[in-house]
Structure 1
Amino acid sequence: MRMHNADETCGIAQAALVLGDWWNVLVLREVARGHVRFDALAAEIGLSRKVLTERLGGLVAQGVLRRSPYQHRPTRHEYLLTDAGAALVPLLVAMQDWGDRWVLGDGTVTATAAEDSAEHARVHALAGTRLPDGLGLPGTQGGDVPLVAPAAAATVLFTYPGAGVDWGEPIPGAAGCTLENRLFRDAWPDFRHAGVDVRGISTQLPHEQAEFAQAEKVPYDLLSDAQHRLAAALRLPTFRGAGRLRHKRLILVIDAERVVRHALFPVVDIPHAVCESLRLATECARRA
């Protein structure tokens, strides 16, 4: 691609060399979702082997993907994000947020969604899918915590916009995060009795979550998706509020094999959603 001389010092222009191709963006989207092998990428994107080979080679040459062998004789590779590639994940999520709001939506800032929205369809399509292997998020004690509790018969993941946030102008669906955490806290003995673990996830930083967990005596893990790894892996709906991209409120019930069994979204009636997640997770645990 021929560039104007002024583009040589323009970060936007240089980034466009990597992301300016439709297929490059979709390849990076799928790698972030955990589809890291050639056949899986070809199936998810619907791209010819020739074109996919070219795009993967280009992304490796640009330094955003690296090849890692997983089989010998014949040698086969997985395509993994480099540090430079991982730094593109928040940009991918921001692109999705922009598309959801301005292309698929009417431009309104909202922390919820209509039942006929693209976001609603994406979340409910997660039922029956398996979480990417090895995906953990920073916890309040430091270090990554697995999304699914190893010893639990089922796990409830709930995403929330952020606790203790001054929203300024009211954003529909954003309020209620402290209430939600308190309701999960109060129901914690019932979840544990059923063999179910709970994980709360927001894009707040670990120290912010640690302060909240201590103040509210939260007994379960709060995980930070500040780098948007989970949002990108599951294509979760987000909105921009109080200075950052934030998760919209939803609940996933996941079995011991890391398969999503139920998705609750949008969450409008928080007390009902907490009770329903307990009921669904208890049934899932009984079948384990």
Structure 2
Amino acid sequence: MRMHNADETCGIARAAVVLGDWWNVLVLREIARGKVRFDALAAEIGLSRNVLTERLGRLVTQGVLRRSLYQRRPVRYEYVLTDAGRALLPLLVAMQDWGDRWVLGDGSLTATAAEDGAEHARVHALVGTRLPEALELPGTQGADLPVVSPTAAATVLFTYPGTGIDWDEPVPGVTGCTLENRLFRDAWPDFQRAGVDIRGISTQLPHQQAEFARAEDIPYPLLSDAHHQLGAALRLPTFRGAGRLRHKRLILIVGAERTVRHALFPVDDIPHAVEQSLRLAGDCARTA
């Protein structure tokens, strides 16, 4: 792309060289979702092989992707995000948030969703989807933990906006995060007996989650998606509140093989949703 001299020191202009192409953005979106092989990318995006080859080569040259050999005969590569590429995930999630609110929505700021909206359709389309391999997030104990338990017969993932937050303005659907964690905490023995693990996920920082976990005696891991790895991988709905993008409240029931079995969204009746997740996850564990 030819640039005017005035743009040579402009970060926006330089980033536009990387992201200012429709196909580049979609390629990065799909790689963030775990579609890292050429055929999977071509099938998902519907891009011709020649054009896809050119786009991938350009993103490798720009330092956003790197090629990783996975087959020698014939030679085949996976395309994975570099540090620079992972740093683009918050931007992709912010683009999605803007599109959900201002293009697909009516511009309202909300932490919930209408059942006939795009976010609802996208979350429920996750059923049958397999989560990307080796997806880990920082936990409250300081170490990265797998999003899906490697030992449980099923895992409940619940995302929530955040705890202990002084909201700048009233946002429909933000209240109840402490209640939700307490209800999962109180039901934890029942989940354990059913062979089910729990992961609570927000975009709060690990030390903020750790402080809450200690105060509330939370027995299951709280994971930080502050860098939006999970949000980008699953295209989870977000909203902007109290200075950062935050997950809307939802619950996913994931089987031992990392496949989403059930999706609960929107979550408006929190006690009912916790009871329902125990029943659904227990059924999933029994049939594992």
TM-score for the superposition, normalised by structure 2: 0.99
- 2: distance between equivalents of 1:167 and 1:140? 23
**Displacement after TM superposition at 1:170 (Å):** 1.1
Secondary structure of 2:52's partner? helix
Match of 2:140 in 1: 140
Q: Secondary structure at the match of 1:9?
A: coil
- SS state at 2:8 partner: helix
What SS does the aligned partner of 1:120 have?
helix
**Matches of 2:189 and 2:167 in 1, distance apart?**
32
**Bigger mean CA deviation after superposition, 164-173 or 89-98:** 164-173
Quote how far apart the aligned CAs of 1:143 are: 1.8
Distance in 2 between residues matched to 1:274 and 1:65, nearest whole Å? 39
Point out 4+ residue stretches in structure 1 off by more than 3 angstroms.
none
Partner of 1:7: 7
Q: CA deviation at 1:168?
A: 2.7
1:204 match:
204
Matched, 1:260 2:260: yes
Instruction: Give the structure 2 partner of residue 237 of structure 1.
Output: 237
Query: Aligned partners of 2:144 and 2:33: how far apart in 1?
Result: 18
**1:1-288 matches, cutoff 5 A:** 1-288=1-288
Give, in whole Å, the separation in 2 of the partners of 1:267 and 1:203.
18
Amino acid at match of 1:12: I
CA distance in 2, matches of 1:147, 1:18: 30
CA distance in 1, matches of 2:54, 2:4: 25
In structure 1, runs of 5+ residues without a counterpart are none
CA RMSD, aligned part only? 0.5
Which deviations, in whole Å up to 9, do the C-alpha atoms of 1:98-148 show, x marking residues without a partner?
Answer: 000000001111000000110000000000110000001000111210111
**What amino acid does structure 2 have at the position aligned with 1:213?**
A
For 2:92 and 2:118, locate their aligned partners in 1 and report how far apart those are by CA, in whole Å: 17
- Report the residue type matching 1:30 in the other structure: E
- C-alpha displacement of 1:151: 1.3
Q: 1:232-276, CA deviations, whole angstroms, 9 ceiling, x for partnerless residues?
A: 000000000000000000000011101100000000000000000
Equivalent-residue separation in structure 1 for 2:39 and 2:138 (angstroms): 31
Q: TM-score, normalised by structure 1?
A: 0.99
Aligned to 1:137, the other structure's residue is in SS state strand
Equivalent position amino acid for 1:261 in 2 = R
Distance in 1 of aligned mates of 2:253 and 2:234: 14
Cα deviation, residue 150, structure 1: 1.3
Structure 2 gap segments, 5+ residues each: none
Count of aligned pairs between the two proteins: 288
Aligned partner letter, 1:120: H
